[in-house]
Amino acid sequence: MFISFALLNLASLLITLLLPNNHQPHGDQKRGLFSAYGPLLRTPRIYYALLCAFICAQPVSLGQSFLPLLFEANGFSPDQIGPTLSLRAVGATAAALLLARLIGSAHGPALAALGACVLGIGLIATAATADVVSAMVIMSFIGISAGLLLLFYQLLVTELSHGGNRGTALAIAGSGWSVSHLVAPFLVGLVADLTTLEQAFMIWGAGIVILGLLMVPLNRITATSPEGNEG
């Protein structure tokens, strides 16, 4: 499987390198490498996109750290943990294939907020279940929710940027992933030391639900701010 993914990534890289480059540089590129950061960092909506990326990355951040330990504590065998974790990717792929049109519609912000809440509830439910089948269903829904958020924050980036600064916008919004990988395992581990791993997941999941609920007013505020649609 790892060899297959490596070959697929290599093929994608080769195709990208062989594609013709018809890009015309914009004026902001001529001013310097970091000239695009200032206007984007003054755009409130870029932080809304960053928040979406942060929530989207939670299953990966925890799947590479504490989720296997949680499943082991709940009595799962190694042969059960692997397939259960893999269903996150299956759910995310299904969301990308089946729900892309919905997330790109006027209902996109509401669906993204709903996805964040479902993701948080999924983390809470994961901590509370010792049944493998239930855990697989939960991980599938977590994957679907993360897939929705992934699509949504990438759409936000395209709305906030043009060809000349799109890479910069994606870097800023995508830094939510890096923040998640740093913050989520650290805080979950810290809370687990003070309580239990199950309680830590429940507390963290509740926090994600709160962030999901906050996405509704944040979407409205950043969309109507003076620089909310700067591109």
The per-residue pLDDT for 182 is 93
Amino acid letter, residue 68: P
Report the C-alpha gap between 119 and 142 in whole angstroms: 5
pLDDT, mean of residues 60-72: 93
Average pLDDT of the chain is 84
Residue 188 has pLDDT above 90, yes or no: yes
* 67 vs 107, residue with greater confidence: 67
The per-residue pLDDT for 28 is 46
Least confident of 19-33, 91-105, 156-170: 19-33
Least confident of 147-151, 164-168, 212-216, 222-226: 222-226
In the chain, where are the structural domains located?
A: 37-224
pLDDT, mean of residues 109-122: 95
At CA 171, angle to CA 167 and CA 175, rounded to 5? Answer: 165
pLDDT, mean of residues 124-143: 94
CATH 3.40.50.1860 is right for the domain spanning 37-224: no
Report the C-alpha gap between 231 and 224 in whole angstroms: 14
The per-residue pLDDT for 165 is 76
CA quadruple 187, 192, 198, 199: dihedral, nearest 10 = -80
Residue 21 has pLDDT above 70, yes or no: no
pLDDT band at residue 107 using 50, 70 and 90 as cut-offs: confident
The per-residue pLDDT for 99 is 82
Report the C-alpha gap between 29 and 52 in whole angstroms: 27
pLDDT band at residue 161 using 50, 70 and 90 as cut-offs: confident
